[in-house]
Amino acid sequence: MSAKVKLGTHITSGEQVALKLIDRTKLTPRQTEMLEREIQAMQAVQHPNTLLLRHVEWVAQYPKKRGGFREVVLLVLELGTGGELFDYLMYTGPLGEQVARSYFRQLLSALEVCHSQGVYHRDLKPENLLLDGSFQLKLADFGLAAINCDDHLCATECGTRSYMAPEVMSRQPYDGAKADIWSAGVVLFIMLAGNPPFAQAGGNDWWFTAIRHNRYDKFWMAHLRSAPDFPKLAQEFLNRIFVADSGNRATIEELWQHPWLQGAVLQPQELATAMAQKRQTVQRTKERELAAAKAKKAREKARAGAKGGAYDPFGQQVMRGGPKPPVAEPSGLTYFYTHVDAEFALKRLAQAFTDLEATPVSIKDEDFKVKATLSREAGPLSVVARVLSVDEEGELLILDLERRSGDHLDFVKLVQTELAGLLKDVMEDDADKDEQAASVTGKAAAAAGEEEEEEPIAANATEDVF
């Protein structure tokens, strides 16, 4: 079930909100049931650290770009102006112990209220943790939530595999509360280390195998190579969460009593100050990338002028007349800059997806958009690529990549490695600066799940350790 989110303003009060729009004509009975459950879950939970659902309109008219209206389901949501926690982890790395503890306490408090109302989120991850204007945490996206499971046991395997508890992946009935606690532990680990504890809690994953065999010493020995400052007391705290047998996993009540969670936290203003600085770092990095791309364009023009204006008209793709892509901000941090013609860029994006054996691949020329679905081990990955203009002149373009569904780890790897390689010849890069190719950096991959240099202790680590 796909949805669009637009910025809305209340006509009377002037308050800004997020408008979540779901096309009614494309809703299947199953999707309608899921949407009803999402709404029911959000209405059941009222807490300062859960995103507030202000209003629901089951039959609303949304104006189309080219006239007419589309019938949609409208959800009016509290606006998370601080963005996703994922963006901060991806672009600035670990948060620091006090910040991480502050946010984990807020998350645990929200989960405690959810569980008391029989609501189990089942898709906890940094992408679903928003920050408001004061940088306070808001638990969002209850699209996979379960409500009042029979005997407190859920049955559906759902969520994002990197954050799923082992019992969820085993496709057996499971305690929704204990599964949420595991996922929250994965989020905490990433906040402290900047990379995930394991690829997935199952199969032959080396780090999870260590946990399953109660070899926490080997688990931490491996991780301390890349995160040497990981707090010792936090390790002990996570050992109570990362327990393969959910029956022995700590409850929320037990976690509240742990010494690590009783440690110092930041007051709201202190937290806002710390995160505002990180947000500025993200914004400055994006501004530097844009400035570098524009500077390169200026140098190219200067070189052409120095040669008397002579150039090969067939030597490169240049901007032509006709409709230009819309001026818009990228959807997130996964985008490239390019100077090639918009039509050519659109075709190159489609060809790249085709080369990656995506199916189907659809092009909407009038919207400068390509949609593709790729097969991945964690499940289908649906991506939308858009060509955008940086400004009204339309000389510098953005190739914006947005994940619509599928695993976020797979998405980051797709952008950073596969698409970056296939589109290298049309992407802006600057030899005088750090690689400008993709705005997903190595740190981004670490935050999302790709540990770049860390390897098992030995080639046959499983046999050596276990």
Paired sense of beta strands 397-405 and 381-389, if any: antiparallel
Q: Tell me the C-alpha distance between 145 and 37, whole Å.
A: 7
Cβ-Cβ contacts under 8 Å for 151 (sequence gap 6 or more): none
Q: How far does CA 400 lie from the centroid of its chain?
A: 14
CB 334 within 8 A of CB 423: no
Q: Tell me the C-alpha distance between 120 and 173, whole Å.
A: 14
- Sign of the CA dihedral with 269 first, then 271, 274, and 276 last: negative
**Residue 23 β-bridge partners:** 72
By C-alpha distance, which of 218, 222, 241, 220 is closest to 231? 220
Residue showing tokens 């989110």 = 5
**Residue 70 β-bridge partners:** 62
Among candidate residues 123, 180, 341, 407, the one labeled active-site is 123
The CA distances from residue 195 to 88, 214, 260, 339, 376, in Å, are 13, 21, 20, 34, 21
**Residues in the chain, overall count:** 466
Cβ-Cβ contacts under 8 Å for 278 (sequence gap 6 or more): 88, 92, 95
By C-alpha distance, which of 192, 107, 117 is closest to 149? 117
In the sheet that 53-63 helps form, which strands lie side by side, from edge to edge? 4-9, 16-23, 69-77, 53-63
What b/e sequence results for 203-225 when a residue is b if at least 16 CB atoms lie within 10 Å of its CB, and e otherwise?
A: eebbbbbbbbeeebebbbebbee
Strand ranges (E), 335-395: 335-338, 361-364, 369-374, 381-389
- The first and second tokens of residue 357, run together, are 């054996």
By C-alpha distance, which of 3, 40, 57, 38 is closest to 141? 38
In the sheet that 361-364 helps form, which strands lie side by side, from edge to edge? 335-338, 397-405, 381-389, 369-374, 361-364
The CA distances from residue 465 to 64, 197, 211, in Å, are 60, 17, 12
355 is catalytic: no
Catalytic residue list: 123
